[in-house]
Amino acid sequence: MSQASLYTNEQVANLHQEQFAFLEVSESEHTLYITLDRARKKNAMHPHLLNELAFALHYAKVRKEVWTVVLGAKGNVFCAGADLKAFMGISEPFESSIPAPNGEVLIGRLFPEVHKPVFLKLEGDVYAGGIILLATATYIVAADGVRMGLPEVKRGLFPYQVMAALLEVMPQRKVIDWCVRGNMLSTQEGLDAGLLTHVVPTEEVGSKIKSLIEEIHANSPSAIRLGLGAFDHIKPSGETQAYLNDVLKKTLATKDAQEGLLAFKEKRKPNWTGE
């Protein structure tokens, strides 16, 4: 399903009057600023956070006054990946006026379908499913020293959707090596591999994004929107992400996955059975 059909234009029209539980949203000088606001859970993504993100990005897509988007995060971890407890139905109470979407949110399709430049303001570490945000944004301006990790295989899982997104920006062998070893990458390694677009000192992240936005805003927003739409059209379709989302659900049901998650919770080495 196209992520553009998750919400209607009428639903997002009054975005700035909505109550968000897990995001902060503001708009200034043709840029929509979105901040992940779940620091106490390391900004781990769960269903409603993704719903809110899809809602805000649909607004950015259809609002002609929005030319660029910047996504940042509170706390010292940009995103710890998926909140598996929440996806298994264990949720926390929250207050939000954002309605449920008309379909399942596929995180790997959110940024590409905006058809406008999306910046990631990366000032904290990012892990697991959070890496897909890096792989699908237009620009990633990272603070020197942040780390990026794919620990899924250590939990009996595999980063299926992340792998597909990474293959769009990184060499195949580097992607496979990262997925099967589950190791950490430094900012320099991320830059060399093509995952990051800019690495600067922490205090310069904001100013670097500002200068890039100023340069982009000097160009035609209509031409950029149509060009990015064409680029999205010639890439593999969202069917891949939907398929991989289903495979992830199957993996979560394996004994290895259950053992890996339990071992992680109990802070011990997992006992794999291959089942």
pLDDT tens per residue across span 220-252:
999 999 999 999 888 766 567 677 778 877 887
125: pLDDT strictly greater than 60:
yes
Q: Specify the pLDDT at position 65.
A: 97
**CA 129/CA 147 separation, integer angstroms:** 14
Q: Which of 60-64, 65-69, 157-161, 170-174 has the lowest mean pLDDT?
A: 157-161
**CA 125/CA 205 separation, integer angstroms:** 14
Q: Specify the pLDDT at position 86.
A: 67
172: its two tokens? 């195949």
What percent of the chain has pLDDT above 70?
96
41 contacts 78 by C-beta, under 8 angstroms? no
Q: Which helix (H) or strand (E) holds 72?
A: strand 68-73
Q: Which DSSP state fits 259?
A: H
pLDDT tens per residue across span 79-94:
999 887 765 666 778 8
**Residue type, position 168, single letter:** E
Which of 75, 139, 150, 79 minimizes the C-alpha distance to 111? 139
44: pLDDT strictly greater than 70:
yes
Is the model more confident about 139 or about 271?
Answer: 139
Q: Specify the pLDDT at position 227.
A: 96
Q: Which DSSP state fits 16?
A: G
Pair type for strands 148-149 and 184-185: antiparallel
**Residue found by looking up tokens 């205090």 in the block:** 203
Q: How many CA atoms lie within 13 A of 187 on its CB side?
A: 17
261: pLDDT strictly greater than 80:
no
Q: Specify the pLDDT at position 193.
A: 96
253: pLDDT strictly greater than 90:
no
Q: Specify the pLDDT at position 90.
A: 66
> Looking at 74-167, which runs of residues are DSSP E strands?
77-79, 118-122, 125-127, 139-143, 148-149
24 contacts 37 by C-beta, under 8 angstroms? yes
Domains (ranges, CATH) in the chain? 3-203+230-266 (3.90.226.10)
Which of 145, 144, 120, 142 minimizes the C-alpha distance to 133? 120
172: pLDDT strictly greater than 90:
yes
Q: What is the mean pLDDT of the chain?
A: 92
Residues 6 or more apart in contact with residue 7 via CB below 8 angstroms: 54, 55, 58, 99, 101, 102
134 contacts 246 by C-beta, under 8 angstroms? no
